[in-house]
Chains A and B, each alone.
Chain A
Amino acid sequence: MEQTIPQSKPSAIGRNLVIIGGTLFLVIIVAVMAINLNRVESVQLQGNPAPDFTLPLFDQFEPDQLTLSELRGQVVVINFWASWCVECYKEAALLEQAWQEHRDQGVTFIGVDYLDTDKEALAYLAQYGITYPSGPDIGDEISRAFAITGVPETFFIDKDGNIAHVQIGPITRSQLYALLDRLIKQPRQDT
């Protein structure tokens, strides 16, 4: 009598599980890659409207908070800094000086404290005599909105609320004053 060797048939359920699992894994990988490729860096924001934000200010400043959109019509210089940022020390005094010389010409400086502790931040402000409105970036919201890659980074906002220039790293006196002069002279377009 003939004997037969049974052939094992691959499990349909097991095969389906492998296909589903593999597809899900590939989808996740592609999604992660897409998110990373779409990540914007701060310099790419140049020419675009500045993201609006409300910055709570340190206690020594009045008022308690400051909203960017309320400064429309002024030239705004937003400087991201931190007390542990060695490069920030190089421009701290210069920024304060420029603020003092241009505050009556429709220019506002804003300091956004990045990933810093309040105690050290206040000590930094005192050390460099910073008097322009400064406050901590709560929840890292503002830093992410401006897609900063580190500190110091300085954003120059024109009178129409657009990002006219992004400065990565410390700024020199000639660069700073040239930018301010240009933006002050530039008429407002959106009236």
Chain B
Amino acid sequence: MTRKKLLKKSILVLLTATCYLLLTASLTLAQEPNYDRINGIAKNLNCPTCAGLNLADCRTQTCAQWRGQIGDLVQEGYSDQEVLDFFATRYGEQVLQAPPKHGFTLLLWVLPFIAILAAGGWLALAMRNWANSKQALVTGSAAPGRPSQPVPASSDSADDYLQQVDRDLDLNQGLDQT
């Protein structure tokens, strides 16, 4: 066999081996569960036996089995939402972390926004009233529709106040001297 032929055969064998190895590796990787994706889906599910814990954070046997089931469904080609729908149908909607957006539970989605809007509306009204009453105080006239009460003229009250201050200062000076 000439050197050229030998070289060609070697390259061919090398290429074949490389292709085989790449194919085997990709098949193996394809069968390996994507744990990030499984845990991502599991975070949207409740632990079936422990309160207040999601499926991703739970370390019980039950949760491990359920995560395994998520992995099986993912490998069968289920999308994330399809997996969640499967669990909701199989075990009841209470397994979902987020309440479904229909029926009575729709209220849970809508009420917070209503509460924020109501609070914002109340705050806006309150601030408007404060602004109106402050403006009225500055201009010396009552805001529209608001009653007012009479008070003494400012110059008289200021004089009385200053006189009282003088009296107090004199008294203090007297005490200091003694």
A and B part of one assembly: yes
Task: List residues of chain A with CB under 8 Å of any chain B CB.
Answer: 1-11, 13-14, 17-18, 21, 82-84, 115-117, 119-120, 136, 138-141, 144
In the complex, B125 has a CB within 8 A of chain A: yes
- Check A84–B136 contact: CB distance below 8 A: no
Interface residue range, chain B: 35 or more
User: A5 and B118 in contact (CB under 8 A), knowing A14-B125, A84-B62, A139-B91?
Assistant: no
Q: Which residue of B lies closest to A18 (CB)?
A: B122
Measured CB to CB, the closest approach of chain B to A10, in angstroms, equals 8
Interface of B: prevailing SS? helix
Question: Chain A's nearest CB lies how many Å from the CB of B113?
Answer: 14
CA gap between A13 and B136 in the complex, in Å: 20
Which residue of the partner chain, among A8, A13, A138, contacts B90 with CB atoms under 8 Å? A138
List chain A residues, Cβ under 8 A from B94.
140
Indicate if the CB atoms of A84 and B65 lie closer than 8 Å.
yes
Q: Is there contact, CB below 8 Å, between A8 and B68?
A: no
Q: Do A6 and B142 touch (CB < 8 A)?
A: yes
B136 touches A6 (CB 8 A): yes
Q: Determine the distance from Cα of A144 to Cα of B95 in the docked complex, in whole angstroms.
A: 14
Minimum CB–CB distance from A12 to chain B (whole Å) comes to 9
Q: Is A83 a contact partner of B65 (Cβ separation < 8 A)?
A: yes
Q: List 20 A-B contacts (CB under 8 A).
A: A1-B153, A2-B151, A3-B140, A3-B153, A4-B140, A4-B141, A4-B148, A5-B137, A6-B143, A6-B148, A8-B132, A8-B133, A14-B125, A14-B129, A17-B118, A84-B49, A119-B65, A120-B65, A139-B91, A144-B92
Q: Which residues of A contact B121 (CB under 8 A)?
A: 17
Is B90 within 8 A of A136, CB to CB?
yes
B20 at the interface (CB under 8 A from A): no
For A82, list chain B residues within 8 Å (CB): 62
Is the Cβ of A117 less than 8 Å from the Cβ of B147?
A: no
Q: Does B28 contact A (CB under 8 A)?
A: no
Q: Is the CB of A5 within 8 A of B148?
A: yes
Pairwise interchain contact A139-B90, C-beta atoms closer than 8 A:
yes
Q: In whole angstroms, how far apart are the Cα atoms of A18 and B89 in the complex?
A: 40
B134-172: CB near A (< 8 Å → 1, else 0) gives 001100111101111111111000000000000000000
Bound CA–CA A61/B89 (angstroms): 22
Min CB distance B141 to A, Å, is 7
Which listed residue (B69, B115, B129, B142) contacts A11, Cβ 8 A?
B129
Chain A residue numbers with a CB within 8 Å of B129 are 8-11, 14
A18-B118 Cα distance, complex, nearest whole Å: 9
A120 to B154, CA, bound (A): 88
Most chain B Cβ neighbours within 10 Å, of A8, A11, A82, A136:
A8
